[in-house]
């Protein structure tokens, strides 16, 4: 006859160089094959990421894209295609919200209206581009149209100074609209459109005229 007893093993954990004896409950779970319940997943170690990284916000990338839009001349050496080829959401949204803020004049409802025009105006440009045979995604159009509002933001303080001079004010408005439309069109209107370029450039130009009218007419 065989007889005897099995004593509970004295299991210790090495945490930070110190040995700590496991509790009875922990030992019981490990003996029954449920030790996996006590294990930590590697993903849990990455939960303390910075907020900007969690939201996928790259401030350096946004700053570079802002410079690409404000300085659209190819001779300056910026890789402007990154605005189209690597679209993001938070940068254009910040630009649209800032444009909305300077357009308020005490009417907060204009914020939702400008965001609506941005979303559905970009959708219209996207659908037209696809019909004309362009290879562009809606996210790319949304990002380019949003970033290209920056020229209208730049001319806003100038309009406050020269607002009493109608001729100068009109010229600055036209300059701002052409600047914004050129920045957007140079990124969205590629060689695939060939002779159909005016069919896409014209609605982009009208969209920025409407954005400007929201600023000056609210």
Asked if the structure places residue 28 within a domain, the reply is no
Q: What is the pLDDT of residue 132?
A: 82
Q: Is residue 8 part of a domain?
A: no
- Model pLDDT, residue 20: 47
Which pLDDT score is estimated for 21? 53
pLDDT at 90: 83
Structure tokens at 70: 């404000």
**Does residue 49 lie in a domain region?**
no
Distance of CA 122 to the CA centre of its chain: 14
Domain presence at residue 21: no
Domain that holds residue 85: 59-216
Whole-angstrom Cα distance, residue 62 to residue 59?
5
Residue 47 domain flag: no
Of 146, 149, 127, 147, nearest to 136 by C-alpha is 127
The pLDDT score that the predictor gives to residue 101 is 81
**Inside any domain, residue 4:** no
Report DSSP letters for 46-89, one per residue: GTT--HHHHTT--HHHHHHHHHHHH---GGG---THHHHHS--S
Query: Cα-Cα-Cα-Cα dihedral of 14, 16, 17, 19, to 10°?
Result: -40
Predicted confidence pLDDT, tens digits, the chain (218 residues) = 556 555 555 544 444 444 445 566 667 666 666 565 556 555 544 556 666 666 677 788 888 888 888 888 777 777 778 888 787 888 888 888 888 887 766 566 677 888 888 999 999 999 988 888 778 888 889 999 999 999 988 888 888 887 678 888 889 889 999 999 988 888 888 776 667 778 888 899 999 998 888 776 54
79 inside domain: yes
Whether residue 82 is contained in a domain is answered as: yes
Per the structure, how many domains does the chain have? 1
């Amino acid at each position: 006859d065989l007889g005897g007893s099995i004593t509970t093993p004295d299991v210790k954990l090495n945490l930070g160089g110190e040995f700590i004896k496991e509790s009875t409950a922990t030992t019981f779970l490990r003996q029954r094959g449920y030790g996996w319940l006590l294990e930590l997943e590697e993903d849990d170690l990455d939960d303390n990421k910075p907020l900007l990284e969690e939201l996928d916000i790259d401030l350096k990338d946004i700053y570079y894209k802002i410079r690409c839009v404000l300085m659209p001349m190819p001779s300056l050496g910026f890789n402007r295609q990154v605005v189209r080829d690597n679209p993001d959401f938070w940068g254009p949204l910040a630009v649209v919200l800032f444009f909305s803020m300077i357009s308020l004049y005490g009417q907060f409802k204009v914020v939702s209206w400008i965001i609506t025009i941005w979303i559905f105006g970009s959708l219209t440009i996207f659908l037209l581009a696809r019909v004309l045979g362009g290879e562009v995604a809606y996210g790319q159009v949304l990002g380019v149209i949003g970033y290209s509002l920056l020229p209208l933001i730049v001319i806003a303080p100038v309009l406050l100074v020269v607002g009493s001079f109608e001729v100068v004010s009109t010229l600055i408005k036209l300059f701002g609209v052409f600047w914004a439309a050129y920045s957007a069109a140079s990124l969205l209107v590629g060689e695939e459109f060939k002779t159909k370029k005016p069919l896409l450039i014209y609605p982009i130009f009208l969209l920025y005229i409407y954005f400007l009218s929201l600023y000056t007419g609210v």
